[in-house]
């Protein structure tokens, strides 16, 4: 077993940003709030990328649902993340991109249509991520 490195602990800033994400998402619906709470109950805090990955996987299904309430909840969560992305610092933008956006279908994957339902800021960032290549 490998002991955790003491330097690998989340900073107060990172925990505050995670709390900001959790609050914004939790305010959108009970479904999203449960995902966030379950992730923290299972894994603890200081893991915003993992939380957002779980939310992204849920969004994939909910946004493609035929149930209007699920689609509404998905759009509410995406809008909350888009608002945070647009007003956030580099840390917050990176966490949203590497957690939520990377959990969404890639251009060659089934279900890609849910990316078209994202608010513009997230959709554009997803597009930029898909076009990235090393120099």
Which residue has better confidence, 127 or 93? 93
Phi/psi of residue 3, nearest 5 degrees? -75, 145
Given pLDDT bands bounded at 50, 70 and 90, which one contains residue 108? confident
Please give the Cα distance from 115 to 49 (Å, whole number): 19
> C-alpha dihedral over 113, 62, 128, 25, to 10 degrees?
160
Determine the pLDDT at residue 107: 83
pLDDT digits (tens, 9 = 90+) for 6-56: 567 889 999 999 999 999 999 999 999 999 999 999 999 999 999 999 999
Q: Is the pLDDT at 115 greater than 50, yes or no? A: yes
Work out the pLDDT band at 127, boundaries 50, 70, 90.
Answer: confident
Average pLDDT over every residue of 114-126: 95
Query: Which ranges constitute the DSSP H helices of 2-132?
Result: 12-26, 30-43, 48-63, 68-87, 90-99, 120-130
Q: What is the mean pLDDT of the chain?
A: 91
């Amino acid at each position: 077993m490998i002991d955790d490195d003491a330097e690998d602990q989340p900073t107060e800033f990172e925990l505050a940003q995670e709390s900001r994400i959790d609050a914004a998402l939790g305010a959108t619906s009970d479904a999203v709030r449960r995902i966030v709470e379950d992730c923290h109950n299972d894994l603890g805090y200081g893991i915003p990328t993992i939380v957002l990955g779980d939310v992204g996987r849920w969004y994939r299904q909910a946004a493609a649902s035929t149930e209007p309430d699920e689609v509404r909840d998905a759009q509410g969560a995406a809008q909350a993340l888009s608002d945070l992305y647009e007003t956030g610092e580099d840390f917050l933008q990176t966490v949203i991109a590497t957690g939520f956006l990377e959990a969404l279908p890639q251009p060659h994957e089934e279900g890609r249509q849910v990316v078209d339902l994202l608010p513009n800021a997230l959709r554009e960032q997803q597009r930029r991520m898909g076009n990235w290549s090393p120099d």
